[in-house]
Amino acid sequence: MEKTKPKQKGSKLTLRQQRFCEEYIVDGNGAGAARRAGYSEKSERERERGCNLLTKPYIQEYLGVLREAQSKRTEITADKVLQELALIGFSDIGTLFDRDGNLKRIADMPEHARRALAGFDITTEVINVNDENSLNRLKNLCLHLETKSNL
């Protein structure tokens, strides 16, 4: 049994375990969540503690409750993330340019193409279009939603 603060009335979790769960949904890092929740500062023990806590059914249950509440608050769902992944995955970079190959004004670019872009650099000779950060942002959302995807 854990020697921590007492359990909240009617809860299977100690207050420290609840704090661990609340910290875990921030970044999905078990060791970091354990440290921020007040568990041992020794690195090996933190990793073990985080992994151990994540195997407990009552921890998983509470994480599910927290994720569901977070999803409702933010209105970010696995379906929305999947739709955005599809938008990025199927975006046609050609829609950023006019028929003569000139970059369109941003206001004239289709919204789906703008959303797929992280940015671009324009020099007199070359236009570099960057969509990598868009994918990284979606990877982070997938982590929060525990969407299984090989991005």
CA nearest neighbour of 56 among 12, 119, 98 = 12
- CATH number, domain of 55, equals 1.10.10
Q: 3-state DSSP call for residue 113?
A: helix
In a domain? residue 9: no
Measured CA to CA, the distance from residue 92 to residue 94 in angstroms comes to 5
At 94-127, the pLDDT tens digits run: 898 899 988 888 899 998 888 877 676 766 666 6
In a domain? residue 1: no
Measured CA to CA, the distance from residue 105 to residue 118 in angstroms comes to 16
In a domain? residue 7: no
Can you say how many angstroms the Cα of residue 58 is from the centroid of all Cα atoms in its chain?
Answer: 23
Residues 109 and 62 in one domain: no
Measured CA to CA, the distance from residue 57 to residue 134 in angstroms comes to 34
pLDDT confidence band for 46 (50 / 70 / 90): low
pLDDT confidence band for 6 (50 / 70 / 90): very low
In a domain? residue 107: yes
Measured CA to CA, the distance from residue 35 to residue 43 in angstroms comes to 9
Residues 96 and 129 in one domain: yes
Residues 57 and 113 in one domain: no
Token pair 């970091």: residue: 32
Annotate 3-57 with three-state secondary structure.
CCCCECCCCCCEHHHHHHHHHHHHHCCHHHHHHHCCCCCCHHHHHHHHHHHHCCH
Confidence check: pLDDT of 131 > 70:
no
Residues 91 and 60 in one domain: no
Q: What is the pLDDT of residue 15?
A: 93
Measured CA to CA, the distance from residue 130 to residue 122 in angstroms comes to 11
Tell me which of 54, 74, 94 is where a domain ends.
74
Q: What is the pLDDT of residue 98?
A: 92
What is the domain extent for residue 101? 78-145
pTM above threshold 0.95: no
Residues 122 and 139 in one domain: yes
- Least confident piece of the model among 18-22, 37-41, 142-146: 142-146
Number of domains in the chain: 2
Total residues found in the chain within this entry: 151
Q: What is the pLDDT of residue 100?
A: 92
> What is the average pLDDT across 84-92?
80
Q: What is the pLDDT of residue 1?
A: 42
Residues 61 and 83 in one domain: no
